[in-house]
């Protein structure tokens, strides 16, 4: 069971919602997605906002300041405020996983990422952005494939002029198929693979005393359809992409030597060892 105060009343029957919204999710473009407004109880989510820390001032936060992204992130669950922990616990509960499994129609069993790799709390301040990209498609330390992204926006009184819209782009990066304003109590669910291009590429223009806040969760499975993989993606990483009409908008490292070494099993073994043991110990 979960705390009945987490969900808004109109979404209390998740099984029925999944049945009614499954076709809408699957038929959405440019790739399967859906937007839910007022999914959570407003008073509960306002408490989450009140307890949302300033990630810039926390030592355990990850700070990204480069051509592709300017943002702050934190996945240190054990130090989250209780209200935020409660939200994550619900989003990782069996009842929510069943809802997610049904609405996405993914055949492989979905599992949560308790490590919150790349997920957790996200914050972007004035001038910040996240260029269009596809996400890493494999779990960093487990033999799992990344299948679904969920973003929960926490921005009360967010003005449209601030920007920060989540943009979903087509496979060839020719056009933006959908823009989603990051307003308070809006949840976005979308399938993620090597072709699900998304981001918010324009620097946000909010006042300096507020920021674009969101919560991100990623869900995995053991195995996935081969059609969701791009054979040109040699490395399991985030691939940033230029929008149509924008030259040199993003920066990607030249990894010719590494790409050559990745063909050898011994190199793959060393990298897997580093990810599983050394990187986890460092974090």
DSSP codes joined into one string, 155-210: -TT--GGG---EEEE-TTSS-EEEEE---TTEEEEEE-STT-EEEE-SPP---TT-
In terms of DSSP H, where are the helices of the chain? 14-27, 42-51, 82-91, 94-104, 256-261, 265-273, 279-282
* Residue 209 and residue 279 share a domain: no
pLDDT digits (tens, 9 = 90+) for 222-257: 999 999 988 888 788 999 999 998 888 998 765 555
**Number of structural domains in the chain:** 2
Q: How far apart are the first and last CA of the chain?
A: 32
In three-state secondary structure terms, 20 is: helix
Does 280 lie in the same domain as 193? no
- Structural domain includes residue 4: no
Same domain, 221 and 262: no
Q: Could you tell me if residue 77 is inside a domain?
A: yes
208 shares its domain with 279: no
Domain identity same for 27 and 113: yes
User: What is the span of the domain harbouring residue 274?
Assistant: 258-283
At 212-226, the pLDDT tens digits run 999 999 999 999 999
Write out the two tokens for 253: 């490292």
Tell me the pLDDT of the chain averaged across its residues: 90
User: Six-digit token pair at 167?
Assistant: 């943009």
The answer on 269 and 133 residing in a single domain is no
- At residue 184's C-alpha, the angle toward residues 24 and 63, to 5°, is 105
State the average pLDDT over residues 153-177. 97
Question: What is the structure's pLDDT at 283?
Answer: 43
The helix/strand/coil state of 136 is: coil
Output the pTM of the full model: 0.88
Tens of pLDDT, residues 86-104: 999 999 999 999 999 999 9
Does 218 share its domain with 283?
Answer: no
Sign of the dihedral through C-alpha 90, 91, 96, 98: negative
Rounded to an integer, what distance in angstroms lies between the CA atom of residue 53 and that of residue 147?
28
Model confidence pLDDT, tens digit, residues 105-134: 999 999 999 999 999 999 999 999 999 999
163 and 180 assigned to the same domain? yes
Query: What is the distance between the alpha carbons of residues 207 and 192, in angstroms, rounded to a whole number?
Result: 32
Distances (CA, A) of 103 to 16, 24, 98, 131: 10, 9, 9, 28
């Amino acid at each position: 069971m979960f705390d009945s105060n987490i969900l808004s009343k109109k979404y209390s029957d998740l099984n029925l919602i999944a049945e009614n919204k499954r076709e809408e999710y699957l038929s959405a473009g440019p790739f399967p997605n859906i937007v839910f407004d007022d999914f959570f109880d407003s008073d509960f989510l306002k408490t989450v906002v009140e307890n949302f820390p300033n990630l810039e001032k926390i030592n355990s936060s990850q700070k990204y300041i480069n051509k592709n992204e300017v943002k702050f992130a934190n996945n240190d669950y054990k130090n989250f405020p209780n209200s935020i922990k409660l939200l994550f616990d619900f989003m990782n509960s069996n009842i929510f996983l069943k809802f997610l499994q049904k609405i996405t129609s993914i055949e492989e069993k979905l599992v949560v990422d308790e490590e919150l790799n790349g997920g957790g709390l996200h914050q972007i301040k004035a001038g910040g952005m996240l260029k269009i990209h596809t996400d890493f498609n494999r779990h960093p330390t487990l033999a799992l494939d990344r299948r679904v992204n969920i973003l929960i926006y926490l921005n009360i009184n967010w003005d449209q002029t601030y920007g920060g819209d989540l943009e979903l782009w087509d496979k060839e990066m020719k056009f933006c198929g959908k823009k989603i304003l990051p307003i308070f109590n809006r949840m976005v669910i979308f399938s993620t693979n090597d072709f699900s291009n998304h981001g918010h590429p324009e620097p946000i223009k909010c006042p300096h005393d507020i920021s674009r806040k969101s919560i991100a969760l990623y869900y995995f499975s053991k195995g996935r359809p081969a059609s969701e993989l791009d054979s040109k993606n040699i490395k399991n990483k985030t691939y940033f992409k230029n929008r149509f009409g924008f030259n040199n908008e993003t920066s990607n490292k030249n990894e010719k030597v590494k790409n050559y070494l990745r063909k050898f099993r011994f190199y793959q073994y060393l990298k897997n060892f580093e990810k599983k043991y050394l990187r986890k110990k460092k974090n």
